[in-house]
């Protein structure tokens, strides 16, 4: 039977679904109104203020779920960018997303958003809200594969900051930036293990840390105030010294959303932190494993740079994304739940 659209009213939202290390990415192909704004950052403000109901339609139940993640492709004001992108999740709009860049790199080549793919790698310049991210997509015999990307300058913002965390007392955290700001804590501080503990316990501890840092530490970013907020907390296994063994972490971001992947922007921030502490050298590759699914990314600092007054590094992260399907979503006017809902 041929697929036909059911009864509906209004625009049909069409998407391609992928996952990177288990973390979903819903790439929006059509159905969105024009996103106004001269820059990718101002487009991010525009969708937040004027089109947020569409985020809920696509991210929330019944079409999505609590931990759904999305990407909306937009025009970029940077001439060398192949595409601009806005990221969305259960609470709003992120400034950087590594798992999405890994998926979008493949998608951009497969859906011909770049001219003339090159073997063995095709470069795709993706303008994220945090800045230009260069992705390199494996390409041979017409097929796309793994993706590595060079992120925006990443830096340790503050180390050994003590905050008072509700339910846990004083906790010492590091705060680092990898396109978004994260707090980092060894899960042992909460008697938890990122690979074995219940997800709910990891989420509770990480969320308490996020709330504490958000209210007690003032963040700033040298290039834009839009970037100066804490995106989430990453609990680690504490294995930050260089080793050829993988190190595990779990990222809890936005509104207690759990990343299934090792978190590309988190790996970027964690590598910057390890480099800042003298625990790794340039070009020493580490493997980062998701405590949630066991999926892996690699990460290394490849170059020293600056970001305003911060000593920063360019970090390369690599991983693999897969397609899971395509969908067309419709709405019916008498459906009271059409705008989406979440269960807490």
Ligand X SMILES: O=C(O)[C@H]1NCC[C@@H]1O
Is the CA virtual torsion 92, 95, 100, 105 positive or negative?
positive
Among 263, 274, 290, 295, binds ligand X (CB under 6 A): 263
# binding residues, ligand X (CB under 6 A): 14
- Give min distance, CB of 179 to ligand X, in A: 7
Handedness of CA 46, 49, 53, 58 (dihedral sign): positive
What distance in Å separates the CA atoms of residue 126 and residue 104, rounded to the nearest whole number? 8
- 99 scored as a contact of ligand X (CB under 6 A): yes
Q: Which is nearer to ligand X, 117 or 129 (CB)?
A: 129
CB closer to ligand X out of 132 and 330: 132
Kind of pairing, strands 286-290 and 247-253? parallel
Residues 177-236 that bind ligand X (CB under 6 A): none
Backbone angles phi, psi at 48, to 5 degrees: -65, -40
Q: Does 95 bind ligand X (CB under 6 A)?
A: no
Nearest approach, Cβ of residue 195 and ligand X (Å): 18
Given a contact cutoff of 8 angstroms between Cβ atoms, the answer to whether 91 and 257 are in contact is yes
> By CB under 6 A, is residue 274 in contact with ligand X?
no
Task: Determine if 259 is a binding residue for ligand X (CB under 6 A).
Answer: yes
Of the candidate residues 16, 19, 23, 71, the single one contacting ligand X (CB under 6 A)? 23
| Residue 23 vs 186, nearer CB to ligand X | 23
Q: Which residue of 70, 131, 264, 340 would you call a contact of ligand X, by CB under 6 A?
A: 264
Which residues lie closer than 8 Å to 30 by C-beta, 6 or more apart?
12, 13, 14
Shortest distance, position 157 Cβ to ligand X, whole Å: 17
Report, in Å, the least distance between residue 332 CB and ligand X: 31
Tokens encoding 96: 């950087």
Q: Which is nearer to ligand X, 155 or 338 (CB)?
A: 155
Contact 174, 158 (CB under 8 A): yes
CB of 259 to ligand X, least distance (A): 4
Q: DSSP class of residue 341?
A: B
Bridge partners of 287, per DSSP, are 298
**97 belongs to the catalytic site:** yes
Q: What is the DSSP string of 27-61?
A: EEEE-PPP---SSHHHHHHHHHHHSHHHHHHHHSB
Per CB under 6 A, which of residues 54..93 are in contact with ligand X? Answer: 69
Q: Which stretch binds ligand X (CB under 6 A): 96-104, 186-194, 276-284, 301-309?
A: 96-104
Stretch that binds ligand X, among 5-13, 131-139, 212-220, 253-261 (CB under 6 A): 253-261
Environment class of 257 (CB within 10 Å of its CB; exposed 0-12, middle 13-18, buried 19+): buried
Contacts for 157 with CB less than 8 Å, ≥ 6 apart: 175, 176, 177, 181, 219, 310
Does position 94 bind ligand X by CB under 6 A?
Answer: yes
Q: How far is the CB of 111 from ligand X (least distance, A)?
A: 21
Query: Which residue number, 84 or 117, has a Cβ lying nearer to ligand X?
Result: 84
Instruction: Note whether 50 and 33 are within 8 A (CB).
Output: no
List, by residue number, the catalytic residues.
97
């Amino acid at each position: 039977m041929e697929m036909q659209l059911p009864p509906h009213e209004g625009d049909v939202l069409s998407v391609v679904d992928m996952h990177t290390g288990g973390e979903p990415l819903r790439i929006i192909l059509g159905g969105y109104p024009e996103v106004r704004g001269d820059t990718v950052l101002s487009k991010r403000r525009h969708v937040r203020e004027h089109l947020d109901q569409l985020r809920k339609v696509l991210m929330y139940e019944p079409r999505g779920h609590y931990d759904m993640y999305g990407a909306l492709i937009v025009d970029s004001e940077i001439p060398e960018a192949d595409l601009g992108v806005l990221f969305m999740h259960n609470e709003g709009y992120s400034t950087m997303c590594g798992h999405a860049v890994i998926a979008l790199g493949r998608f951009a080549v497969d859906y011909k958003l770049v001219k003339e793919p090159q073997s063995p790698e095709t470069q795709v310049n993706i303008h994220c809200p945090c800045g230009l991210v260069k992705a390199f997509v494996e390409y041979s015999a017409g097929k796309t594969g793994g993706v590595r990307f060079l992120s925006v300058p990443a830096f340790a913002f503050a180390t050994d900051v003590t905050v008072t965390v509700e339910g846990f007392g004083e906790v010492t955290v590091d705060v680092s930036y990898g396109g978004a700001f994260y707090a980092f804590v060894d899960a042992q501080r909460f008697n938890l293990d990122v690979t074995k503990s219940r997800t709910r316990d990891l989420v509770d501890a990480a969320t308490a840390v996020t709330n504490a840092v958000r209210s007690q530490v003032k963040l700033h970013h040298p290039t834009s105030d839009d970037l100066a907020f804490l995106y989430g907390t990453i609990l680690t296994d504490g294995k930050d010294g260089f080793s050829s063994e993988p190190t595990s972490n779990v990222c809890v971001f936005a509104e207690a959303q759990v990343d299934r992947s090792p978190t590309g922007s988190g790996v970027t921030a964690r590598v910057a932190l390890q480099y800042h502490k003298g625990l790794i050298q340039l070009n020493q590759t580490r493997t980062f494993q998701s405590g949630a699914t066991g999926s892996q990314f690699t990460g290394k600092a490849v170059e020293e740079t600056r970001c305003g007054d911060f000593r920063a590094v360019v970090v390369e992260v690599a991983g693999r994304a897969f397609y899971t399907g395509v969908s067309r979503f419709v709405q019916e006017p008498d459906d009271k739940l059409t705008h989406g809902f979440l269960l807490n």
